[in-house]
Each structure stands twice: as C-alpha cells, then as structure tokens.
Amino acid sequence: MLYWVKIMKIKEIFKLAINKGAEADFRPKEAIEKLLKRRKEKYEKLSAKEKEEFDLEALENPYLDSRIYHIASDREIKKVLVGIDIEPAEILIAKEIGGIDLIIAHHPIGKGLAHLADVMDLQCDVLNFYGVPINIAEGLMKERINEVARGINAINHQRTVDAACLLGFNLINLHTPCDNLAAKFLKDLIEREKSERIGDLMNLLKEIPEYKTAAKIGAGPKIFVGDLERRCGKIALTEITGGTEGSPKIYEKMATAGIGTIIGMHISEEHKKEAEAANINVVIAGHMSSDSLGVNLFLDELEKRGIEIIPCSGLIRVSRVKK
Ligand SMILES: [Fe+2]
C-alpha cells in the first residue's frame, strides 16, 4: 500500500533523514536546536577569512557525518541503490544495474568522513542520559574525539565521490541519523521487554530479523564480556550511535553510574579489556546487521513513498512497511 505519493528529490530525502534522525536522537529537540544556534553564534564572530573556510552546512545540519556529495541530475527519485559502504565498485554496480536515480551510503565518505569526529559529542549526551556526569563524559571524550579526527586525516576522502562525479551519479550518505534510529529501536525494545539475564537479552536480539539473518552467516549477536547466566542489570545503548567507538576509559565511569550491560555494534580489544576490568557485560549485536537495522528504519520511509530500494554492500534489507 502506498501511504502517499509525493515527488521526492535528493534534498527532500536528505532532509527527511535528518528530521527522522533528530526525532530518534537521545537529545531533546531543543538541545539540537541549541547546538545549531551556538554554531551560528560562533560563525558570526569569525573574521571574513575564517568564514571563507567555514562549513556552512554546519549551521543547518546537526549530523555532519551525513552529506549530499554530488547532484548530477536533480530529478524525481524512484529507484535507489543503498549500501553500508559505497566505494567505486558500488558506483560501477549502479551503472551495470541501470536506472538508479540515487546512491545512498551509510558510512561516511568525502566531507562526511572528514567530519566524523564532529558527531561524537552526541556520545557525551548519551552517556549523561545513562547517568555518567557530563563533565566526566566530556573530559574523556575530548581526547578520543581528537584521536579519531587525526586517524581519518590521511584517508583518500574523495575517491568514491570522484567516481560518482565521473559516472554522473547522485550520491549521499546517511550515518548518524540512521544509527539514531537503530539506537531508539533497541532502547524501546529493551525497556519494554526487561531482559533479566544475558541469555534473555541474546534471545531478544536474535528475534530481530536483521540479527537473525546475520546469525546465519556467523555474524549474529555475540557475548564479548559476560555469559548467558549473568544478570544484565541496567542495559545501556551507549555504543550504537555517535560516530565511532568512544573512550576506553569510560567503562569504569559507566560502572560507577550503575550500568551493568552495554549493547554495541563492535568493540576493539582495548575497549573490551577495559569493560571486563569494570565488570560491565558487553553484548555485540553485530556491525553490518546493526547498521542495516537503522538504515532499514529510514528506508521504510522511502518505501512508503513509493521508492524502489536495491540493497547492496552488506545491507540486510528488511521492510517493516505494512503491506
Ligand atoms: Fe557502522
């Protein structure tokens, strides 16, 4: 069933994603508006030379890891190719398939990747939501945000964007807005179902179709710290949204804040060891599957509007649109 038929162009799709991401954000709407207002005030104080370098999109878009990279033709979008990672290979796939009006990546590329660290502030608010004092969250995240910014500095940011330009494809990416949708979905489910033990939590996650499919190829939810018998305590979704992995020093502070179990998409060995030392259970839901969940929740909005979706590059497409 079509919910409504309205011509969707690239900017409308992008704006819809930003709005849906903001609705699902851990921060209230007013906090996001305040953040944009603060950026505007800072911008106005800049010198003319500094203003030239300023990323003007920052005044309207709270998620700078999500961007419109190339508009080759601003037409009605009827068919989209969507993948977790879009690289030149996927651009060529789009050419082979034919009739693709827009390519949507999940992970940031180009300018969005260069600004990945900008969305990590969100993690401070998420941690604060779960009881970690904001000064501690900000103090520990500051160092980590700088580390991430340095880490992505040397990347060939424009490679995929260049391929899209050369072959004449419209290209955008939607990262944190979709991760926000996944985090909200999981948070609501967990608050509703109240799993007592890690085993119950694992069963709950495995009922989600994206995780069920991932489990079949060996990429389903896994316990990284803890075991099936352990009690969950307070479950926090601190590692689903907000760019990439936060500070490894945060686990001890989480434990002090009363968090018993965290659900993440992925975790490094260093982070895992710190969580273990703090007696925090870690359930890793899965990377591509968790990313797919968030992307799917947005793609349903496009499907409702009559847009055809072709999944690629690790996207496990599951539609929740009532037919
Ligand atoms: Fe991801």
- pLDDT tens column, 190-222: 999 999 999 999 999 999 999 999 999 999 999
Compute, in angstroms, the gap from residue 242 CA to the centroid of ligand 1: 10
* 287 CA distance to ligand 1 middle (Å): 6
What's the gap in Å between 277 CA and the centre of ligand 1?
26
- Mean pLDDT, all residues of the chain: 95
Rg of the chain's alpha carbons, rounded to an integer? 20
In this prediction, residue 5 carries a pLDDT of 59
Is 227 in a helix, a strand, or coil?
Answer: coil
CA of 216 to the centre of ligand 1 (A): 20
Which uninterrupted H or E stretch holds 312? strand 308-312
Cβ contact 11:68 at 8 Å: yes
How many angstroms does the Cα of residue 43 sit away from the middle of ligand 1? 30
pLDDT of residue 118: 87
**How far apart are the CA of 46 and the centre of ligand 1, in A?**
34
Give the model's pLDDT for residue 323. Answer: 81
The answer to whether the CB of 304 falls within 8 A of the CB of 13 is no
Q: How far is the CA of 291 from the centre of ligand 1 (A)?
A: 5
Can you give the pLDDT at residue 220?
95
- Please tell me the predicted confidence (pLDDT) of residue 2: 54
Tell me if residue 168 falls in helix, strand or coil.
Answer: coil
Residues of the chain with pLDDT under 70: 1-5
Q: How far is the CA of 107 from the centre of ligand 1 (A)?
A: 6
Ligand 1 centroid distance, CA of 50 (Å): 32
* Ligand 1 centre distance from Cα of residue 149 (Å): 17
CB atoms under 10 Å from CB of 306, counted, come to 14
242-272 burial code (b ≥16 CB/10 A, e <16): bbbbbbbbbbbbbbebebbbbbbbbbeeebb
Ligand 1: distance of its center to the CA of 49 in Å?
36
> What confidence score (pLDDT) does residue 4 get?
57
Torsion angle in degrees (nearest 10) through CA of 35, 38, 44, 46: -100
